[in-house]
C-alpha cells in the first residue's frame, strides 16, 4: 500500500482527501498543525502533528513514512484575512511550502500535488478563466499561492520535482456519508455561513457588495463539491505515478452563481428563510471567477458528480445539522 503525505490532513479539504485516498487503497498520513484543523477529522490513517515552518519535524516525518507522494493542502485561505495581514500569508503559505518542497526533494519524494486557487487569476472582467489565463492576483492569498506555483516550477526544472497543481474555484459541500465535513472557527465561507444564519446561529447574512458589474450586482463564483474535488486529486496522483509529468488543472464546473443565487438556493433547499443585510464590498474580492474546466475532464478523466448547487447545499446542511468537531 503506497503512503501519501497529506499536509492539512485534519482540515476541510485535506480530511476529505484522506478519506478518498484510503478508499483508493493508499495510506494517507495527515500532517497538520491543528491551528485550523481538527484531530477528530483524522480518521483514515496516521496523524502527525507538525508545522510546515518546522523543517526538522518535516524531515522526521518523511524519514518515518517514506511517502511516494505529497498532497499539500495546508495553508491559510481567507481572502479578507490575507488583505488585513499579508505577512501571515507569505510566511505560512510561501515559506511553509518552500520548506515542504525542500524536505520532499531531500527525501527523494518527487511527486507533488498542490492546492492552488482561482484567486491567482485576479479580476478579469467577466471572462471564463482557463489554465492559460494570465495570473494577476488582487489579494495576498492569491499572490502567495502563485508564488508557490513558481517554486514548484523552479523545483521541477532544477530538482526533477513533478507537480500537479490544482487551481480550485469555490469548494463547498461535505462528505455525502456524513462522516466528516466543513468546520472553520470562525466560519467565513458563504455556504456554511448561510447555514449558520438559517439555523439561527447568526442573525443575518452579511452580503458583501451589491454594486459589482454582474447581472444582479453580487459576485459570481463557480462552486465545486469537495468530494468531486478530492476525486480529481486521486486522478492527479495516478497521473504522476503514470509518469505524465507536471501539469496545471482548474477545478470548477464552468457554471457561475451569484451570491444572491446561492442565498436563494440555500433557502429553497432548507425550506427556511435567510435574513440578509447588504454591506460594502469585501477587500480583495473579484467580481467573477468561473472556470474553464475542460482540461481536467479531458486529460484527467475527471467527472464531477455532486457539484450542482442543490446537492452541495444539502450535503453541507446534513453535516451542519449532525456534527461538528470539538478541539
- Binding residues (CB under 6 A) for ligand UDP: these are 79, 170, 188-190, 193, 205-208, 219, 221, 259, 282, 285
For residues 53 and 46, the answer to whether their CB atoms sit within 8 Å is no
Contact yes or no for 80/64 (Cβ under 8 A): no
Decide whether 65 or 168 has the Cβ nearer to ligand UDP: 168
Comparison of 188 and 201: residue with beta carbon closer to ligand UDP:
188
> Crossing angle, helix 190-198 and helix 259-270, to 10 degrees?
40
| Number of helical (H) and strand (E) elements in the chain, helices listed first | 11, 14
Q: Which lies closer to ligand UDP via its Cβ, residue 282 or residue 318?
A: 282
> From CA 58, how far away is CA 95, in angstroms rounded?
13
Residues involved in catalysis: 141
Residue 43 DSSP symbol: -
By beta carbon distance, the residue nearest ligand UDP is 219
Least gap, CB of 109 to ligand UDP (angstroms)? 29
Min CB(279)–ligand UDP separation in Å: 7
Q: What pairing do the DSSP bridges indicate for beta strands 220-221 and 257-258?
A: antiparallel
Instruction: Provide the minimum distance between the beta carbon of 139 and ligand UDP in the complex, in angstroms, as a whole number.
Output: 9
CB of 190 to ligand UDP, least distance (A): 4
User: Any residues with CB less than 8 A from the CB of 158 and at least 6 apart, and which?
Assistant: none
- Cβ closest to ligand UDP, residue 237 vs residue 287: 287
Amino acid at each position: 500500500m503506497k503512503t501519501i503525505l497529506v499536509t492539512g490532513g485534519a482540515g476541510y479539504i485535506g480530511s476529505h482527501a484522506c478519506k478518498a485516498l484510503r478508499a483508493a487503497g493508499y495510506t494517507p498520513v495527515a500532517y497538520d498543525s491543528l491551528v485550523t484543523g481538527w484531530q477528530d477529522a483524522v480518521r483514515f490513517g496516521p496523524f502527525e502533528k507538525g508545522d510546515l515552518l518546522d523543517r526538522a519535524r518535516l524531515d522526521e516525518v518523511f524519514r518515518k513514512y517514506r511517502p511516494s507522494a505529497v498532497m499539500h493542502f495546508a495553508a491559510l485561505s481567507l481572502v479578507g484575512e490575507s488583505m488585513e495581514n499579508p505577512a501571515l500569508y507569505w510566511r505560512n503559505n510561501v515559506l511553509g511550502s518552500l520548506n515542504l518542497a525542500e524536505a520532499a526533494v531531500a527525501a527523494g519524494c518527487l511527486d507533488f500535488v498542490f492546492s492552488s486557487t482561482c484567486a491567482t487569476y485576479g479580476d478579469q472582467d467577466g471572462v471564463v478563466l482557463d489554465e492559460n489565463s494570465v495570473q494577476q492576483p488582487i489579494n495576498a492569498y492569491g499572490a502567495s499561492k502563485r508564488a508557490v506555483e513558481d517554486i514548484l516550477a523552479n523545483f521541477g526544472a532544477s530538482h526533477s520535482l513533478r507537480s500537479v497543481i490544482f487551481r480550485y474555484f469555490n469548494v463547498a459541500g461535505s462528505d455525502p456519508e456524513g462522516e466528516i465535513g466543513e468546520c472553520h472557527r470562525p466560519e467565513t465561507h458563504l455556504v456554511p455561513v448561510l447555514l449558520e444564519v438559517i439555523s439561527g446561529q447568526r442573525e443575518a447574512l452579511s452580503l458583501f457588495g451589491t454594486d459589482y458589474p454582474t447581472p444582479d450586482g453580487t459576485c459570481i463564483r463557480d462552486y465545486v463539491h469537495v468530494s468531486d474535488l478530492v476525486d480529481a486529486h486521486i486522478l492527479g496522483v495516478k497521473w504522476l505515478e503514470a509518469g505524465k509529468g507536471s501539469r496545471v488543472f482548474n477545478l470548477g464546473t464552468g457554471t457561475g452563481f451569484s451570491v444572491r443565487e446561492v442565498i436563494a438556493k440555500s433557502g429553497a433547499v432548507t425550506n427556511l428563510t435567510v435574513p440578509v443585510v447588504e454591506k460594502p464590498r469585501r477587500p480583495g474580492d473579484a467580481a467573477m471567477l468561473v472556470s474553464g474546466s475542460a482540461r481536467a475532464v479531458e486529460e484527467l478523466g475527471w467527472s464531477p458528480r455532486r457539484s450542482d448547487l442543490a446537492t452541495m447545499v444539502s450535503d453541507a446542511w446534513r453535516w451542519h445539522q449532525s456534527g461538528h468537531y470539538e478541539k
